[in-house]
Structure 1
Amino acid sequence: MKRRTFLAAAGATVLTACGTASGSATKTLRYQGSAGAVTLPELAADLGFLGDVKLDWVGNTISGPQDIQSAATGQTDFGGAFNGAVVKLAAAGAPIKAVIGYYGSDQYAYNGFYVLEDSPIRTPADLAGKKVGMNTLGAHLEAMLDIYLQRNNVDPKKAEPLVVPPINTEQSLRQKQIDVATLGGILRDKALQSGGIRKLFTDYELLGPFTAGTYVFTEKFLKQNPDTVRAFVTGVGKAIEWSRATPSAQVVDRMTRIVQKRGRNEDGSALKFWKSWGVAEKGGRVSERQLSMWVDWLAGRGELGSRKLDISSLYTNEFNGVPA
């Protein structure tokens, strides 16, 4: 299978849209969720941190690039993705701006690359020709795989990343449909609890603690709805800090009740493994380094073209009311 890059068709049709916010300011934000999980905006809404701003769930996504693409084209009002995906989409001409971090890696929240206990894969060189299952290509997990291989003098092109829905990744590994499974958060802990798998490496071990992904809005939406965005960003920032200050069992209980009462016919049992969002900065504030660190990786893949990026123009903290 040839290695694919995400948003390969972007740049012509997708990126000309500036969002669909029209007329007077809106107080309702359309968004995509995640099956069996609770997003930070959903938690913020349940805690009452969004004020009079409402969330309108339009479906679920398993891909950050798809989520921010939907925001860029106006199918939703905001989306979240790996910061490298945000840089790539902006480089292709999308008028988006990152406003708050929402996930990352720390000692509790991280993404790992796992194999079966009896797998012959033990070194980076052993990944040559092996199938590595991940939620999407050209984003966080493929970046981690590339960096891991490059640091160990292995050509990243020798591995074979494949798209596998997160909910199916563990099963695909156990059934030997893939050789390596990328697992994070509650899905990782659930798989480890079942036993029979072992770790190759994690993104936290590779890069240390870092905020990995941000929520974005289009510039048009920010201009038309500044008060709504301010309520959203500040509310999500408060939810991050509430989660830090609250015992994890209480956070899990809150999220479990959110899943139960929203009635989406989903299994929320994995929520009990939640420990952290992994956001490094206070209130989810965005820093230039969060975005600039991925420019070299993307440039090395030939995915930025000749476009010059002003990283400082890709994010803003002006809507974040959580004290720094």
Structure 2
Amino acid sequence: MATTASSRRQFLSLLGLSAAAVSCGTTATGATSGQGQTKTLRYQGWAGKVILPELAEDLGYFGEVKLKWTGNTISGPQDIQSAATGQVDFGGAFNGAVVKLAANGAPIKSVISYYGSDKYAYNGFYVPKDSPIHSARDLIGKKVGMNTLGAHAEAMLDIYLQRGGLSRAEAGKVEPLVVPPVNTEQALRQKQIDVAVLGDILRDKALAVGGIRPLFTDYQLLGAFSAGTYVMTDRFLKQNPDTARVFVTGVGRAVEWARSTPREQVIARMTDIVGKRGRNEDTAPLKYWQSFGVAETAGRITDKELQLWDDWLTERGDIKKGQVTVADLYTNEFNAASSPSTSGS
């Protein structure tokens, strides 16, 4: 387990790109200068998962625009850093990471939401059934295991503690710790941590075993909300507006396709996609998929989805008040998707 301080430094270092570094990196984007716009979008995937752009391409929503897989990532902050420096043409992360990266001078813009929390897709903070922890105040002096610091899970914990009436000094006595997701349940059951943050298949498997209960979930805390966005650089959007529109609109249509299509059919489609791409991946986890959790129609972005994290980062002292203007961080102009569509399926 990494310490809170060292993990936070690593997270902030990852996002602390200088404007010069980003400027150099953007010259390597997939954008074409002069004649025509690029028809190929480089991206990073996730092992064993189907991301919305992959689903959109398979559904035929991209037309002549094609995706080019460059490898997998296990980190949203790393993914958007790669987009900012031009190693890929789009990347996605938790909105707090997007705000942080923009505050550090990266010329990026969020173009569409791609994941969030709802009654099917959420992260829960779990304790053993016999745990004495029942409230925010009970967490003082306790250890909370999560996948990374300075991101979604720690933000939810901070909000929960604040709403529970803890002072900043009291909240500082709650210790968030980095625990690899695949080890989090085991760490909780072996009492190495007091609270485990679990989501998706890891949550469902742990609940099936039994012996744990939720202290709270992000859905209970904030209701349905979109939590992460795909970003592109300002340079890419300027040089490739039509391609960007095809991409964003296609992803938006895929959001609505997944929302309006029976779950079994969505899982079957994603399983087929993983099989066709031939990366020797296990498709078993896909059967646990329930929702992408995107709150707004077709993944459109709203001020509140980024303002929440701007406020949080400012409160933590990670960025200065007024350092970014939320309205400048995103655009919906490339999203022409509207009502649910099953065409191309």
SS of structure 2 residue aligned to 1:294 = helix
CA–CA distance in 2 between the matches of 1:106 and 1:48? 27
CA–CA distance in 1 between the matches of 2:180 and 2:53? 22
Task: Note closer, same or farther for the CA distance 1:15–1:55 as it changes in structure 2 (3 Å cut).
Answer: same
Are 2:305 and 1:300 equivalent residues in the alignment? Answer: no
Are 2:72 and 1:65 equivalent residues in the alignment? Answer: no
CA–CA distance in 2 between the matches of 1:166 and 1:43? 25
Query: Aligned to 1:52, which of 64, 84, 91?
Result: 64
Quote the residue 1:286 is aligned against.
301
> What amino acid maps onto 1:67 in structure 2?
D
| TM-fit CA distance, 1:271 | 1.3
Structure 1, unaligned runs of 5 or more: none
Structure 2, unaligned runs of 5 or more: 340-345
> What amino acid maps onto 1:28 in structure 2?
T
Quote the residue 1:239 is aligned against.
254
State the structure with more CA Rg.
2
SS of structure 1 residue aligned to 2:12 = coil
TM-score by length of 1: 0.93
CA–CA distance in 2 between the matches of 1:188 and 1:23? 43
Query: Aligned to 2:210, which of 195, 206, 227?
Result: 195
CA–CA distance in 1 between the matches of 2:22 and 2:180? 26
| TM-fit CA distance, 1:304 | 1.1
**How many residue pairs get matched?**
324
| TM-fit CA distance, 1:120 | 3.5
Are 2:97 and 1:85 equivalent residues in the alignment? Answer: yes
Quote the residue 1:173 is aligned against.
188
| TM-fit CA distance, 1:307 | 5.3
SS of structure 2 residue aligned to 1:7 = helix
**Superposition map of 1:244-263 within 5 A:** 244-263=259-278
| TM-fit CA distance, 1:117 | 2.9
Query: Aligned to 1:8, which of 7, 10, 13?
Result: 13
SS of structure 2 residue aligned to 1:158 = coil
| TM-fit CA distance, 1:14 | 4.7
> What amino acid maps onto 1:209 in structure 2?
A
Quote the residue 1:139 is aligned against.
151
Task: Note closer, same or farther for the CA distance 1:70–1:270 as it changes in structure 2 (3 Å cut).
Answer: same
Q: Say what the alpha-carbon RMSD is for the aligned residues.
A: 2.0
> What amino acid maps onto 2:301 in structure 1?
V
SS of structure 2 residue aligned to 1:129 = coil
Given that residues 25 and 87 in structure 2 are in contact (C-alpha distance below 8 angstroms), is that contact kept between their aligned partners in structure 1? no
| TM-fit CA distance, 1:73 | 1.3
TM-score by length of 2: 0.87
CA–CA distance in 1 between the matches of 2:173 and 2:75? 24
Query: Aligned to 1:124, which of 125, 136, 139?
Result: 136
SS of structure 2 residue aligned to 1:266 = coil
CA–CA distance in 1 between the matches of 2:114 and 2:322? 27
Are 2:111 and 1:99 equivalent residues in the alignment? Answer: yes
> What amino acid maps onto 1:54 in structure 2?
K
CA–CA distance in 2 between the matches of 1:139 and 1:218? 22
| TM-fit CA distance, 1:60 | 2.1
SS of structure 2 residue aligned to 1:198 = strand
CA–CA distance in 2 between the matches of 1:82 and 1:224? 26
Task: Note closer, same or farther for the CA distance 1:307–1:92 as it changes in structure 2 (3 Å cut).
Answer: farther
SS of structure 2 residue aligned to 1:279 = coil
Task: Note closer, same or farther for the CA distance 1:261–1:11 as it changes in structure 2 (3 Å cut).
Answer: closer
| TM-fit CA distance, 1:301 | 0.6
CA–CA distance in 2 between the matches of 1:251 and 1:163? 32
Given that residues 148 and 206 in structure 1 are in contact (C-alpha distance below 8 angstroms), is that contact kept between their aligned partners in structure 2? yes
| TM-fit CA distance, 1:203 | 0.5
Given that residues 21 and 85 in structure 2 are in contact (C-alpha distance below 8 angstroms), is that contact kept between their aligned partners in structure 1? yes
Q: Deviations over 1:5-60 (max 9, x none)?
A: 52236143654445222534222222122222111111111111121222222222
Q: Percent identity?
A: 67
Given that residues 127 and 133 in structure 2 are in contact (C-alpha distance below 8 angstroms), is that contact kept between their aligned partners in structure 1? yes
Given that residues 187 and 270 in structure 1 are in contact (C-alpha distance below 8 angstroms), is that contact kept between their aligned partners in structure 2? no
SS of structure 2 residue aligned to 1:8 = helix
Are 2:55 and 1:39 equivalent residues in the alignment? Answer: no
> What amino acid maps onto 2:319 in structure 1?
L
Query: Aligned to 1:310, which of 314, 325, 328?
Result: 325
SS of structure 2 residue aligned to 1:69 = helix
| TM-fit CA distance, 1:173 | 2.9
| TM-fit CA distance, 1:61 | 2.1
Given that residues 24 and 85 in structure 2 are in contact (C-alpha distance below 8 angstroms), is that contact kept between their aligned partners in structure 1? yes
